[in-house]
Copies of this chain bind each other. A is one copy, B any other.
Amino acid sequence: MSKKNAITPTREEDYASWYQEVVKAADLAEHSPVRGCMVIKPWGYGLWENIQRILDKKIKDTGHKNAYFPIFVPLSFLEKEASHVEGFAKECAIVTHHRLEKKDGKLVPAEDSKLEEPLVVRPTSETIIGEMFSKWIESYRDLPLLINQWANIVRWEMRTRLFLRTTEFLWQEGHTAHQTKKEALEEVFKMLGEYKDFLENFLAIPVIKGRKTEMEKFPGADDTYCLEAMMQDKKALQTCTSHFLGQNFAKVSDIKFSDEKGNLEYAWTTSWGMTTRVIGALVMVHSDDDGLIVPPKIAPTEIVILPVIHSDEMKQKILGFCEKLKKDLQNVLYHNKNLVVEIDTRDIRGGEKKWSWIKKGVPIILEIGLRDIENESVFMLKRFNLEKKSVKTQDFIKNIKKILDDIQSEMFEKAKKMQEENTQEIKSEDEFYSFFKSKKAGFAKGYFCLGPKIEKKLKDDLSVSVRCILEENFEEGTCIFCSKKTKTKAIFAKAY
């Protein structure tokens, strides 16, 4: 293995540039000529397809059905909920015309095609889906209504970074309506639980569960719950949210049902979502200075086979062996899906070829030359730790599921350890300030009275935000920042 790293700069040298370089080296995505919009390339989209496949099953297994709603939200809909429109007004793509015409030789929006009411490209769908819910729900028998949508979303961002913050992104958004507050809250936590299982057991990203402060919650929600993850630069990234919307959207969209006694009541609604942003988290949690490392359970291709061919006469034999091996491996069912194996026969240098796969983070690379075939073995490289060894072919096939599962667990454990080692219990304001003035500060945990002025000051002074309020029952203690007694602890961090 080369001493020099495949990615320049390294994480240590310049984390932000390292991230961009990993995304590029792994061929995940790139900027498009459209301001702030990205192109998700096949390897990156393959990750998203696996995320969709696994999450979609979870969403369906918990009783939700997929549907599709319009991409456009009329301005008057967005305006219905005051804090909702406040939250999104500054970042809307607005459609104002529906025809182009030539004017002085230039193509321009035709004046007479101006819309009476402008349409906003959906920044989220609560109001448009709420309108449909109000038509679909009449009686308690229609509840719960459990709907999910896979869609593209547009929020006009001024400063964009691939996957982490883009003007257009892909997501799923769950929208549900319930008869009681209790049921709606159960839904909020159920889906948060599904997200946690998905993040930890499939993406190998350990997360901290909690509630957002008033300042950080979703515009229009009563409460927003989230899962926060620690990146390798110790900053936090919100991986998903689950919102308890109370009766706010039911009231503005008139989602009413008649209960068992015939009384007309407002429904209780929720919404919850996960976006292509988690691919950014995946990159930042798992990659190293040689590129991306993909957890096996989410890899578009789990195993790549590199035939090592030095002469034309051995070509046939080696390729035949590789095809047979590929077939045997593709018959293995790994977590409800057949393994995907690729043979890379590109006509480029062997080293370049191998490194292209290391940078892409494929879990297992097999090099196969004549000697390996004679020894009935394969030369295996685990991307996760770059460990290399020769293994008997039959043992490799027999053990492949365990090999992959072990990599998966090790990746999770490594990330978990980093998160734990970089989370510090903080008792005083001084300690807090000096913690966050140190270069490699991670997560701070401590008592917090939830005072919004304090929250604002921490942002201004340190660029630190309250990531979440922990849900556990703590004994009473004293707020880090004031003398107030509280039972509430929070996680603080700099964040993406």
Interface residues of A (CB under 8 A from B): 32-34, 37-42, 45-46, 48-49, 65-75, 77-79, 85, 89-101, 107-109, 118-121, 128, 131-132, 141, 147, 151-152, 154, 156, 168, 170, 346-347
Contacts and interface: CB of A to CB of B under 8 A. Distances in A.
Nearest to A132: B39
Contacts of A108: 118
Contact of A69 (B39, B85, B132): B39
Contacts of A101: 89
B72 A45 contact: no
A121 B72 CA distance: 11
A72 B37 contact: yes
A355 to B, nearest CB: 18
Contacts of A152: 71, 151-152
A406 to B, nearest CB: 29
A67 B90 contact: no
Contacts of A67: 39-42, 45
Contacts of A46: 65-66
Contacts of A121: 71, 95, 121
B99 A96 contact: no
B37 A71 contact: yes
A74 B33 contact: yes
Contact of A100 (B37, B38, B94): B94
A170 B68 contact: yes
A107 B89 contact: yes
23 contacts: A32-B69, A32-B131, A32-B132, A33-B74, A33-B128, A34-B73, A34-B119, A37-B70, A39-B67, A39-B68, A39-B70, A40-B67, A71-B168, A78-B100, A89-B100, A90-B100, A92-B98, A93-B95, A94-B98, A95-B121, A96-B96, A98-B156, A108-B118
Interface centre among A37, A68, A347 (most CB of B within 10 A): A68
A252 to B, nearest CB: 14
A241 to B, nearest CB: 22
Contacts of A65: 42, 45-46
Contacts of A34: 70, 72-74, 119, 128
Contacts of A92: 97-100
Given A48-B68, A89-B107, A97-B118, 4 more contacts: A79-B107, A85-B107, A93-B119, A151-B152
A33 B68 CA distance: 14
Contacts of A39: 67-70, 132
A80 to B, nearest CB: 11
B118 A109 contact: yes
B89 A98 contact: no
Nearest to A115: B35
Nearest to A276: B68
